[in-house]
Structure 1
Amino acid sequence: MPHKTSAWPLSLVYVGLVVYASLYPFADWRDQGPLPWGFLVAPWPHYWTAFDLLSNVLGYAPLGFLLALGALRTGQGSRAVLLATVAGGALSLLMETLQGYLSSRVPSNIDFLLNLGGAWLGAVTSTLLEKLGAIDRWIRFRGRWFVPESRGALVLLALWPFALLFPAAVPLGLGQVFERVEAGLAELLLDTPFLEWLPLRAVELQPLVPGAEMACVLLGALIPCLLGFSVIPSLGRRAGFVLAVLLAAMGATLLSATLSYGPVHAWAWFSQPVQAGLVLAVALALLLLRVPARVCAALLLLVLGLYLVLINQAPASPYFAHNLQIWEQGRFIRFHGLAQWLGWLWPYAVLLYVLVRVWGLSSLDRAAPKIRE
């Protein structure tokens, strides 16, 4: 059974990233007149920096790379560079045009050309790697490691370390949305008779006790392991994947703490409950190495439910927003709140994916009927 390429879903995710970054903060829209694309014939900007040039090129290069890779994997190799460049240029043109309606953004012809060049550069890089055999080596690697129907899990696993970059109240604490949803509903229903229908909590959320924090860390580390087990049939490769999850969890959390709170507090999150949770997660994952893939998916549903209940009983840190504002490097991972949205939504995306796999895709068992030694 051939593997479906992960380039297409990853490119869609990246398009969402570009749209979010280009149109943030999505407020103060205005009408600039009959020619929203007039920036194309405007004079060159007088003020620019090397960072502006580099960021515009590098911002669209991954998009061109993914689009060209998707075209190469679907038999359109002769047109891969052209299709990726045109698609990237069309997206850039749309974003620059829409920026003309935002009071806080300025459309620029040089930005458009740099974005177009970035998409072309990424597409050319993809085709060069294909000619050098790197894409074929990745295909063989993926064939050895993963079952054919694995692209959804691979996309979610690739996004997991980035979701950890936005600091949470509990390390590895993704999906903590209860307080924000509650506040958002209250604001939405304000001055309406439906506000009385909103249930109120009797007491405020309290910080988690060490045992509950340890459980959240344990489950938070176990979730990507089980997700990987659902698409990795080999026993040995599952064990290596557990080690990769542990390193990714510690590396992303360490980077997040360093950039958000400063190098002095880089290891402040690594408390005894966190250490115990990580050790127990690794031990439990190793005990589950021989469990069939479909059983791992079912266990993942159970673990996700328990995890989301626990993590949403923890209050948001009152020091978090203040620290991000005063620590300049924290803006690197904030990225207009996009990393925070990713941290909020990632567990629910996994939940939706696993439900589809368990209920709608019987090919999971056919592709990996048993664990290979």
Structure 2
Amino acid sequence: MPGPRGRHASTAVPLALAWAATIVYASLFPFTGWRWPVGLGVAEMLRLPWPQYFIPFDITSNLGGYLPLGLLVALARLRHGAGRWSALAGGVLAGAALSYGLEVSQHLLSQRVPSLLDWLLNSLGALAGALLAVLAALLGLLRGWQATRERWLEGGQSGAVALLLLWPVALLFPTPVPLGLGQVGGALRDWLFVLLLDVPWAQSVTLWLDSAPVPSERLSPLAEGLAVALGLLAPCLLAYAASRRGWRRLGLALGATLLALLATTLSTTLNFGPDHALAWAVPDTLVPMAVGLVLALMLAWLGARAAAALALVAFTGLVMLVHQAPSDPYFAQSLQGWEQGRFIRFHGLAQWLGWLWPYGALAWLLVRLGGTRRV
């Protein structure tokens, strides 16, 4: 919906913030070994050394990692009324400043090595992204995107659009049940246990955390099928809560199903290799997904607030079910590969999205039901 002076709420803003947070995570991971380098003064800290060797994967990841940031920042600037040169400068400066701050911070991490080459590549990536944004504006693609949003969605739904765009990325992280996002309870329990381990007044809490039962038995076929169906139905209802009634909702449901199929296939490929890309496509998964799609198509006539209320129920049921699902050996092996292998730079984005995405959707839905239009 247009704002003051023709400006529009931009989906690029929350997406840029999410991407910047991911870059911070990937650049400072594993967040251990903090120390001040011996004999290094403040002036030396601010200087970045030239690397002694080059790794092709690092070069491409540095370029590719900052391209979306430059693109999103420049798009946000354009959508808020800035000129093309101002948007270009904003995208480049945002990427270059963030990269420089993180490279300097890596001096303090024993497992990370700051690099002038990394900063240059990151800045070039941000420049490429900002140039793409300006090119999109010159070609009229931004006006076309805005017109499409206004046809398909109600005004002021940038938060929902950002969530829906991030959903397939969240699905790339290994899940205990297909489409079963939100299993963050185990990680929270482990972090809280470590945090309170040596705190005298918290001994009863740590004992309770240490003795808390961990799911060991696989979900029943009915419960697993329900989780898969809700994993597809809940995002569809989220889309309905942000869109107008009409035939386009059928397109949203079909598009969500296609994204779920593609993201699950890509996730399986990343985890187990191309030969096993379709290992997930078994009747126990496909039938519940079909049920979720049918339910989504049947509910396409709902009003936005009714869809939001049902989405709250669906997301709540989903996170309750996935927290009852155990982590089987193959799932644990996949996580180890993501955390220790080449996926480490991508690991932060997909892991945190996979853990937190349903809760972000729940928060948006609560605000939506609370009567706030611009969420």
TM-score by length of 2: 0.89
In 2, the alpha carbon distance for the partners of 1:252 and 1:202 equals: 32
What does the per-residue CA deviation read over 1:26-78, in whole Å, with 9 as the maximum and x for residues that have no partner?
11012132236556364x33321443333222221211111111111111114
Letter in 2 for 1:145: W
Aligned pair partner of 1:347 in 358, 361, 364: 358
Q: State the alpha-carbon separation in 2 of the partners of residues 128 and 355 from structure 1.
A: 37
Post-superposition CA distance 1:302-343 (Å, at most 9, x none): 111222212211111233232455699974388345422211
Q: Give the match for residue 141 of structure 1.
A: 148
C-alpha offsets along residues 128-167 of structure 1, whole Å, 9 cap, x if unaligned? 1101111111111111111111110111111111111111
Let me know the Cα RMSD of the aligned residues. 2.4
Once the 2 structures are TM-superposed, how far is the Cα of residue 113 of structure 1 from its aligned partner? 1.8
Question: Any idea what SS the aligned residue of 1:55 has?
Answer: helix
User: 1:88·1:119 contact (CA, 8 Å) conserved in 2?
Assistant: yes
Question: Structure 1 residues 333 and 221 mapped into 2: Cα distance closer, same or farther (>3 Å)?
Answer: farther
Match of 1:46 in 2: 52
Structure 1 runs of 4+ off > 4 angstroms? 36-39, 199-204, 323-331
Work out whether 1:194 is the aligned partner of 2:205. no
Q: Indicate how the Cα distance of structure 1 residues 331 and 277 shifts in structure 2: closer, same or farther if over 3 A, else same.
A: farther
Out of 21, 27, 39, the residue aligned to residue 26 of structure 2 is: 21
Answer whether contact 1:89 1:119 (CA < 8 A) is retained: yes
Matched, 1:215 2:226: yes
Counterpart in the other structure of 2:241: 230
- 1:369 is matched with none
Q: Which residue does the alignment assign to 2:268?
A: 257
Q: What is the letter of the counterpart of residue 57 of structure 1?
A: L
User: Would you say how many aligned residue pairs link Structure 1 and Structure 2?
Assistant: 363
Letter in 2 for 1:339: A
- Corresponding letter in the other structure for 1:263: P
Of stretches 91-100 and 321-330 in structure 1, the one that deviates more from structure 2 is 321-330
Distance 1:36-1:26 versus aligned 2 partners, 3 A rule: farther
* TM-score, scaled to structure 1: 0.90
Q: Shift of residue 169 of structure 1?
A: 1.3
1:37/1:97 contact within 8 Å kept: no
Q: Comparing 277-286 with 117-126, which one deviates more in the overlay?
A: 117-126
- Do structure 1's residue 316 and structure 2's residue 327 form an aligned pair? yes
- In structure 2, stretches of 5+ residues that fail to align are 3-7
The CA deviation at 1:101 is 0.9
Residue equivalent to 2:9: 4
Per-residue CA deviations over 1:201-241 (Å, capped at 9, x if unaligned) read: 56854210111111000101001100100111142110011
Measure, in 2, the Cα distance between the counterparts of 1:265 and 1:318.
17
**Alpha carbons of 1:136 and 1:316: their partners in 2 closer, same or farther (altered >3 Å)?**
same
Letter matched to residue 29 of structure 2: Y
Q: Is the 8 A contact 1:334 1:340 kept in 2?
A: no
> Counterpart of 2:175 in 1: which secondary structure?
coil
Partner secondary structure for residue 5 of structure 1: coil
Letter in 2 for 1:281: G
SS at match of 2:121: helix
Q: Percent identity?
A: 46
Q: Work out the CA distance in 2 between the residues paired with 1:146 and 1:67.
A: 23
| 1:62 matched to 2:68 | yes
Letter in 2 for 1:194: A
Relative distance call for 1:120 and 1:219 in structure 2 (3 A) is same
What residue in structure 2 maps to residue 371 of structure 1?
A: none
Range with greater deviation from structure 2 (16-25 or 108-117):
108-117
The Cα shift of 1:266 comes to: 2.5
